[in-house]
Amino acid sequence: MASPEHSDALFGSRVQDCFGRSAGRYEQGAQLQAAIAARLGRHCRRLAAQIPAGPRADLGAGSGLLGRAVEANLNGPPLLRVDQCSALLAQEPGSAAGQRPPQLAWDLNAGLPPALGGAALLASSFALQWLEHPEQQLAAWCQQLAPGGWLVLAVPTAGSFGIWRAAAAAAAVPYSGLPLPPAAPLEAIAQAQLQLQRLQRLRFNRPNRGARDLLHQIKSIGAQASRQRRLSTGELRRLIDHWPGPDHAVNWEVLLLLGQKR
């Protein structure tokens, strides 16, 4: 049996591999991620006068949806795009002058890169859930902010995908999606270190066009890596047979928070 370290390393390389293979199609399929990035960006308008000097970063930046949204609403230097997947970083469009924002290929399971010590702004959207220990990583991100520095975060949480879990239970097959972190411990960690300006559990419903369609959507943006084994063909068929009808939506729960380091 693989040791936990070994299976973490295998999972990490599978995550990178899946995102890398779909990198060219990411922005076309990542509509919810784009909407959340735009929403976080708008919330940043109010922070413009309050951000101290120091490094700014988009953690798990991918193609830079959040970095661009934040920069569109804030004066000041660009955010360092940090991501382990170079193929996704390479999707970031350059400016009209042909310049790309600064980027760093880095595995966030190793903590933050040294360049982000005393950070003034750490932004992250739809990335924390991919890390091995989301709660520990969030605590470390908060710790590394400079006094007065800001955390701007969105992360999908365990209240998502109710119909997938229900269908898996009814079909007696494992839930094979990525386990998402529960919201409450993340909220408590942020509250302990930050003065929260905004804390919301957003709930979104998306049309339910069946199990295959949802799995296809997830795969189309490269987000199909999971710690669970793949379902066998028979298990997948049972899951599809037990999937609720279109009157049951596919739900997302997304924790959104903005907070300033005390």
Q: Which chain residues interact with ligand SAM by CB under 6 A?
A: 12, 15, 19, 30, 33, 37, 60-62, 65-66, 83-85, 88, 107-109, 125-127, 130-131, 223
- Give the residue with the Cβ less far from ligand SAM, 171 or 214: 214
User: Minimum distance between the CB of residue 64 and ligand SAM, rounded to whole angstroms?
Assistant: 8
Helices within 22-126 (DSSP H only):
26-29, 31-44, 65-73, 86-89
User: Minimum distance between the CB of residue 5 and ligand SAM, rounded to whole angstroms?
Assistant: 14
- Give the residue with the Cβ less far from ligand SAM, 128 or 173: 128
Q: Is the separation of the CB atoms in 56 and 120 below 8 Å? A: yes
Helices within 60-147 (DSSP H only):
65-73, 86-89, 134-144
B/e letters for 65-101, b = 16+ CB within 10 Å, e = fewer, are bbbbbbbebbeeebbbbbbbbebbbebbeeeeeeeeb
DSSP letter (8 states) at residue 79: P
User: Minimum distance between the CB of residue 186 and ligand SAM, rounded to whole angstroms?
Assistant: 16
- Alpha-carbon distance 158 to 256, whole Å? 14
- Give the residue with the Cβ less far from ligand SAM, 57 or 173: 57
- Give the residue with the Cβ less far from ligand SAM, 161 or 243: 161
Lookup result for tokens 């879990």: 165
User: Minimum distance between the CB of residue 60 and ligand SAM, rounded to whole angstroms?
Assistant: 3
Q: Which amino acid is at 91?
A: Q
- Give the residue with the Cβ less far from ligand SAM, 130 or 243: 130
225 φ, ψ to 5°? -65, 140
Burial (CB count within 10 angstroms: exposed 0-12, middle 13-18, buried 19+), residue 199? middle
User: Minimum distance between the CB of residue 100 and ligand SAM, rounded to whole angstroms?
Assistant: 16
- Give the residue with the Cβ less far from ligand SAM, 127 or 168: 127
User: Minimum distance between the CB of residue 58 and ligand SAM, rounded to whole angstroms?
Assistant: 7
Residue sitting closest to ligand SAM (CB) = 62
